[in-house]
Structure 1
Amino acid sequence: MTLEIDTSKPVLVTGSTGFVGGWIAKSLIEKGVTVHAPVRDAQNDEKLKSLKEISNKEDGNILFFEADLMEPKSYDKAMADCEIVFHVASPFLYKFNDAQKDLINPAVEGTKNVLESVNRIQTVKKVIITSSCAAIYGDHIDIQSVPNKILTEEVWNTTSTIDHQPYSYSKVLAEKLAWDIEEKQNRWKLIVINPALVLGPSLSGKSTSASHELIKQLGDGRSKAGCPKFEIGMVDVRDVADAHVNAAFMDNINGRHIVYNEVLSFLSLSKMLQEKYPQLPLPKKELPKAMVWLIAPLIDKSITRKMISGCMGYSWNANNQKAIKSLDLKYRPIKESIQEMFQQLIDQGEL
């Protein structure tokens, strides 16, 4: 599919130095688009290096603007003349000290500040926001009570709180706020992408994304004795980027879009990795739920017994057909995603 893109007009991408945002920016630059990228430190050459190198080789361009997601009006300058805004920046941290400060405030206040800029900048016609399947459900047990035990775009997470699954709670609050702001005006359209667990290589070197930490745990010896019986929808980061870009430039795209390719367990991922890395201490079995419930919170405080009770041993299922059909997605196999991601962790000395 060839997208019709007016490359004379810049687009804005928040979070362009992050895991998903980097691939969105790369895709746009390769298509000849000028990307306006607000960043906290426009002089941080190490962090901006990969996107600058892509820009030097491609027809498109990237311009960095110093801005702070937590400051109102901070994005106005970067957004000037843009018709399309991708709001990708939001924390997905494996470890944090204060859920309100580290997760919820950046997600909610950041979304509010970006969309208030959108309301001020009259050229903007379309906003694509990166939400998550975490805004659709909290724990796997929640899926058992939805119609046919299959998640759809109509379902909302009603069980996460600041004390239980605070990352998921932050995604619910941020996405609901975005829809509330969109409903109060009629100049610009909001489209939301709700990916499941995002895997694949990072463009910007070492990533702080929680998905990287999860995969690292599979291979660094911490899971040698076994891994939890836990399955979830998974998707390659490049496919998530395609979903965003297609949503921006295709006609008649509306609402939320669940984006994932395969439902796999952590043990399935481990087996995919064992084929290529037999020498590493990858888990070869699943641990009993009672053992994980007892021991995991003692090893990692971010894993609570309530989370284990609500997620382990339950099936995960979601309808991804809307995104496949309306956004014309062609998914990469997760085996490719996980092996490339793992190799990058090895190359960077993290495994």
Structure 2
Amino acid sequence: MAHVAVVTGASGFIATQLIKQLLEKGYTVRGTVRSTKDERKTEVLHKLAEALPGNLELREADLLKEGSFDDAVAGADFVFHTASPFFNDPEDAQRDLVDPALKGTRNVLNAVIKSKDTVKRVVLTSSVAAVSVTGGKPKNGDRYNEEDWNTGSSVTHEPYRYSKYVAEKEAWTLSKQEGFELVTILPSFVIGPVLGRRQDATSIKALKKIVEGTADTIVNRVIDVRDIARAHILAAELPKASGRYLLSHADTVSIGDVYRELSQRFPQYKYPAFEPEPSKPLYDNSKVQNELGLKLIPVRETLADAANSLYSLGIGTPAHK
């Protein structure tokens, strides 16, 4: 009998790739979205369901509505909680970022608590934002790892980082109190191939600027969305998986590195030139590789595949030479 997996925030960048990989493995997937009638967000999910061997069911749920995840979670084997707001410059950080992240996590996990007899494990999508704060330093050594926590942010200072920190902390508190298994995945900046034409997600907007040659900076830590999805599935399926898994390439990546690589891969396009910047180690990713056996996709392959996917969809095409 196929495993039943719940994926919250099913239309998101990470969630869509996760659902794709789960369907490829024959899972029955219950994806939650705020509205099943929003074809702009669900179109790609229906296409995946038609093309792949697993089964997909879409259920409506709201992060801020108590009990709205109960139906989706009931009888499931695994719950992947990926849904959490991510955008820059919120009008009201408490309302727009912190409340959905924290209350949403509570609501999803309360549904898990009601179905503890069937749910084998919860995998929560956290972030390196829960580990580090701008200007901070690792607890030990010069690289951040799973022992680090971001205690320097707040609702008024780097509120997105704060939202990820408080949501993950709450998840661990509930896991210990209620006795359900929890694993958290902490990705850095997500790049990689996109599966649909939706362009309003923050990650896709940033990726579009990069591949069209209009970005003038890039966050200095990246990870392939396909690796994130694989890490979630391994974290659910492997009995030995436990605790937190920081998921990022170890070294920093500059915008100059990105455009030099894209120039080599796509010589027909014109990209801006930037002075080279030295790479430096920032994160320790040994745990996810050693315990889950995850071998990370090289950054240059990720960049090429991301650009190819957007160019093929007619999104973010740069000027020709």
> Any idea what the Cα deviations from partners look like across 1:106-132, whole Å, max 9, x if unmatched?
111111110111111232221000001
TM-score where L is the length of structure 2: 0.90
Match of 2:31 among 37, 41, 44: 37
- In the other structure, the counterpart of 1:244 is 232
SS of residue matched to 2:84:
coil
Aligned-partner Cα distance in 1 for 2:42–2:204: 20
Aligned-partner Cα distance in 2 for 1:163–1:240: 29
- In the other structure, the counterpart of 1:348 is 314
Map residues 123-162 of structure 1 onto 2, 5 A cutoff: 123-139=118-134, 141-143=135-137, 146-162=139-155
Map residues 199-238 of structure 1 onto 2, 5 A cutoff: 199-220=191-212, 222-223=214-215, 227-228=216-217, 232-238=220-226
- 4+ residue segments displaced more than 6 Å: none
SS of residue matched to 1:109:
helix
The one-letter amino acid paired with 1:77 is D
Pick closer, same or farther for the CA change 1:109–1:349 going to 2, 3 Å: same
The one-letter amino acid paired with 1:323 is V
Map residues 323-342 of structure 1 onto 2, 5 A cutoff: 323-342=288-307
Pick closer, same or farther for the CA change 1:73–1:268 going to 2, 3 Å: same
Please, which runs of 5 or more residues in structure 2 have no aligned partner? none
Please, which runs of 5 or more residues in structure 1 have no aligned partner? 1-5, 288-311
Pick closer, same or farther for the CA change 1:349–1:317 going to 2, 3 Å: closer
Equivalent pair of 1:136/1:156 in contact (CA under 8 Å): yes
- In the other structure, the counterpart of 1:291 is none
Matched, 1:268 2:234: no
Map residues 145-184 of structure 1 onto 2, 5 A cutoff: 146-184=139-177
The one-letter amino acid paired with 1:272 is E
Aligned-partner Cα distance in 1 for 2:279–2:103: 34
Aligned-partner Cα distance in 1 for 2:188–2:57: 30
Aligned-partner Cα distance in 1 for 2:90–2:309: 24
Map residues 62-81 of structure 1 onto 2, 5 A cutoff: 62-81=56-75
SS of residue matched to 1:338:
helix
Displacement of 1:332 after TM fit? 1.3
Aligned-partner Cα distance in 2 for 1:193–1:71: 24
- In the other structure, the counterpart of 1:306 is none
SS of residue matched to 1:11:
strand
Aligned-partner Cα distance in 2 for 1:142–1:22: 33
Displacement of 1:218 after TM fit? 3.5
The one-letter amino acid paired with 2:193 is P
- In the other structure, the counterpart of 2:246 is 258
Deviates more, 1:40-49 or 1:128-137: 40-49
Equivalent pair of 2:184/2:245 in contact (CA under 8 Å): yes
Pick closer, same or farther for the CA change 1:178–1:330 going to 2, 3 Å: same
> Any idea what the Cα deviations from partners look like across 1:259-294, whole Å, max 9, x if unmatched?
12352222211211122345655331249xxxxxxx
The one-letter amino acid paired with 2:105 is T
Identical pairs, percent: 34
Equivalent pair of 1:219/1:281 in contact (CA under 8 Å): no
Map residues 9-24 of structure 1 onto 2, 5 A cutoff: 9-24=3-18
Matched, 1:322 2:311: no
The one-letter amino acid paired with 2:172 is W
The one-letter amino acid paired with 1:273 is L
Deviates more, 1:313-322 or 1:25-34: 313-322
- In the other structure, the counterpart of 1:303 is none
Matched, 1:189 2:184: no
Pick closer, same or farther for the CA change 1:316–1:209 going to 2, 3 Å: farther
TM-score where L is the length of structure 1: 0.82
Aligned-partner Cα distance in 2 for 1:55–1:150: 40
Pick closer, same or farther for the CA change 1:125–1:265 going to 2, 3 Å: same
Q: Provide the aligned C-alpha RMSD in A.
A: 2.3
Equivalent pair of 1:193/1:256 in contact (CA under 8 Å): yes
Aligned-partner Cα distance in 2 for 1:128–1:137: 21
Displacement of 1:95 after TM fit? 4.6
Pick closer, same or farther for the CA change 1:104–1:286 going to 2, 3 Å: farther
Equivalent pair of 1:11/1:85 in contact (CA under 8 Å): yes
Displacement of 1:104 after TM fit? 1.2
Map residues 85-96 of structure 1 onto 2, 5 A cutoff: 85-96=79-90
Pick closer, same or farther for the CA change 1:337–1:92 going to 2, 3 Å: same
- In the other structure, the counterpart of 2:114 is 120
- In the other structure, the counterpart of 2:20 is 26
Aligned-partner Cα distance in 2 for 1:251–1:50: 32
Equivalent pair of 2:67/2:111 in contact (CA under 8 Å): yes
For these two proteins, the number of residue pairs brought into alignment is 314
